[in-house]
Structure formats: C-alpha cells, structure tokens
Amino acid sequence: MENAHPASELRLHSDQAYLLLEMEREVMEMIATDEPIGEVLDKVALNFEAISHDAICSILLVDEDEKTMRHGAGPSLPKAYCDAIDGESMGPVAGSCGTAAFHKKRVIVEDIASDPLWVNYRDVALRFGLRACWSTPIVSNDGQVLGTFAIYYKSIKTPDERDFMLIDRAVDQVKIALEKNHNAAQLIESEAKYRLLMESMPDYIMRFDQMHRYLYVNPATIKLTGLSESDFIGKTNKEIGFDPDLCSYWEMNIKQAFQTRKII
C-alpha cells in the first residue's frame, strides 16, 4: 500500500500528542474507578473521533455463546445502523468486523461498495452513507477475541501509519477495559457459586477477620445455635456470650488458620 503522507506527517504534533495522552488518562481513570463499561467504550470512541478527522467509531463485542457480534459502542453511528448489525455472525465473509473477529486479524475495506467481504451488509452500510470500514480485533492476553474496534468513513479511504498508530492505542484501552470487566464478572459469578455451596452444606461454616469477628455464618450454624445472622456478624465469640473456655479454644484455632492459611 502506497503511503500518501510524508513521514514527518505521520507523527502527531505536540499539541495533538498532549491531547491524546490526556484523553487516554481520562479513559484509564474511568477504568480504574469502575465506571460502567458502556460509558468507557463510548469515551474511547468519542476520543478517537475527536483526534482523527471524519472518523466514525464502532465497537462490537463477541458473544461467545452465540458466536455473534453484539453492539458495544457507536455514539456517532445512526442507531438504526447499529441495530441492523447487532448480532451479525463471525465468518470469513462477514463485513469488516465479523471477518476480523473470525480471523483474529485486522481487516481493511477501503470501498464497501465493491469489496466482496461486504456482500451481506453492503446495502445497509451504503444506505447510511458509509463507504470505508477498517476493523481491528480486540484480543485478550490469553488469545480470546473480545470484540472489534472499527473505523468508518463516508468516503473511500486508505489508512496510513498515523491511523494504525491511533487505532492500536485505542484498541489497547478497550482491551484493558473489557478484560477488567470480564474478570470482575467472573469473580462475582465465582463468589455467588461459592456462597451457594456454603449455604447448602450441612457442616458448620464460619469466616472470621483477624480480630476474631464473624464475617459469615452459614445456615447450618444459625440453626445449631438458634441465633440470627445479625447476632454473629461483626462480633467475637466472647461478645456473643459463648463459654469463655470455648472462646479461648476457638480463638487459638482462628489465629492458627491465619498463620498457616489453612482451613481449620
């Protein structure tokens, strides 16, 4: 592909570089403070559009269960277009995004009107005036395709090195956001399964902090003692009023559990 811009133009001017860094800082702050994932993705898209003239961004997310692409962000795209491509399949001839996700490779379509990859989506794209679409897969550290980051233009367009640099930086931010969101969702699911297991077990299960205060008691423990959950949580055995000798014995076991990091 012939480069249409001199090498000196491929680098960002100092004011643009500062703006880009400031935009990236804002996104990373949103990720760090657990802002809703949809708002983070919208921010990345709008930031890219602000620094790349005439670009229209779209972020699609992979639905592993259905092997389809779902809407993630597209704040400047017509809603009707976002709805039309929501749920598109991944495959070797699936527009720019479905193909990029399928092959785990960047797909550059300079002219939607003539490119065979767009045979199934050409009409809807042209109806909304979209003529070019470059899509980059968002791949996790373990090789899983999380989604795609796509750039649309309303004219036939060929990317240059500056475009690729900006796209790759945006993709890195989206990957960080999606991986953190995915890990948080997995943790919530894991904790829910753990709690369900603990609450269904007939054994007496308790969790304490290092001050020997109760953090959790399962239903079997509550049934045995005849106390309520609120009678336990945040209190020590002594504060609840159990036998002093038993309390000393239990405190010794709790201390041993923290020291050895083993279940007692």
Q: Summarize pLDDT for 88-116 with one digit per residue, the tens.
A: 999 999 999 999 999 999 999 999 999 99
* Band of residue 171 on the pLDDT scale cut at 50, 70, 90: very high
Which are the contacts of 57, defined by CB distance < 8 A and separation ≥ 6? 44, 45, 46, 48, 49, 73, 74, 75, 76, 149, 150, 151, 152, 170
Most confident of 154-158, 207-211, 239-243: 154-158
Q: Can you tell me the distance from the alpha carbon of 150 to that of 54, in angstroms, rounded to the nearest whole number?
A: 13
Q: Is the pLDDT of residue 62 over 50?
A: yes
Q: What angle do CA 242, 245, 246 make, to 5 degrees?
A: 55
* Band of residue 4 on the pLDDT scale cut at 50, 70, 90: very low
| Domain range list for the chain | 9-188, 201-260
* Band of residue 129 on the pLDDT scale cut at 50, 70, 90: very high
Q: Is the pLDDT of residue 5 over 50?
A: no
- pLDDT for the residue numbered 163: 94
Domains 9-188 and 201-260 agree in fold: yes
Q: Can you tell me the distance from the alpha carbon of 139 to that of 104, in angstroms, rounded to the nearest whole number?
A: 7
How much is the mean pLDDT over the chain?
A: 87
- pLDDT for the residue numbered 9: 39
74: tokens are 């597209």
Instruction: Spell out the SS3 assignment of the chain.
Output: CCCCCCHHHHCCCHHHHHHHHHHHHHHHHHHHCCCCHHHHHHHHHHHHHHHCCCCEEEEEEEECCCCEEEEEECCCCCHHHHHHHCCEECCCCCHHHHHHHHHCCCEEECCCCCCHHHCCCHHHHHHCCCCEEEEEEEECCCCCEEEEEEEEECCCCCCCHHHHHHHHHHHHHHHHHHHHHHHHHHHHHHHHHHHHHHHHCCCCCEEECCCCCEEEECHHHHHHHCCCHHHHECCCHHHHCCCHHHHHHHHHHHHHHHHHCCCC
- pLDDT for the residue numbered 131: 98
Q: Can you tell me the distance from the alpha carbon of 103 to that of 87, in angstroms, rounded to the nearest whole number?
A: 18
- pLDDT for the residue numbered 11: 56
Query: What percent of the chain has a predicted confidence (pLDDT) above 70?
Result: 87
Mean pLDDT of 39-66: 93
Of 87-101, 118-132, 158-172, 176-190, minimum mean pLDDT range = 176-190
Q: Can you tell me the distance from the alpha carbon of 217 to that of 165, in angstroms, rounded to the nearest whole number?
A: 53
Q: Identify the CATH homologous superfamily for domain 201-260.
A: PAS domain (3.30.450.20)
- pLDDT for the residue numbered 22: 87
* Band of residue 184 on the pLDDT scale cut at 50, 70, 90: low
- pLDDT for the residue numbered 177: 94
Q: Is the pLDDT of residue 159 over 70?
A: yes
Q: Is the pLDDT of residue 200 over 90?
A: no
Give the CA radius of gyration of the chain. 27
- pLDDT for the residue numbered 53: 86
Task: Please state the separation of Cα 231 from the chain's center in Å.
Answer: 39
159: tokens are 């990317």
For the domain made up of 9-188, give the CATH fold. Answer: Beta-Lactamase (3.30.450)
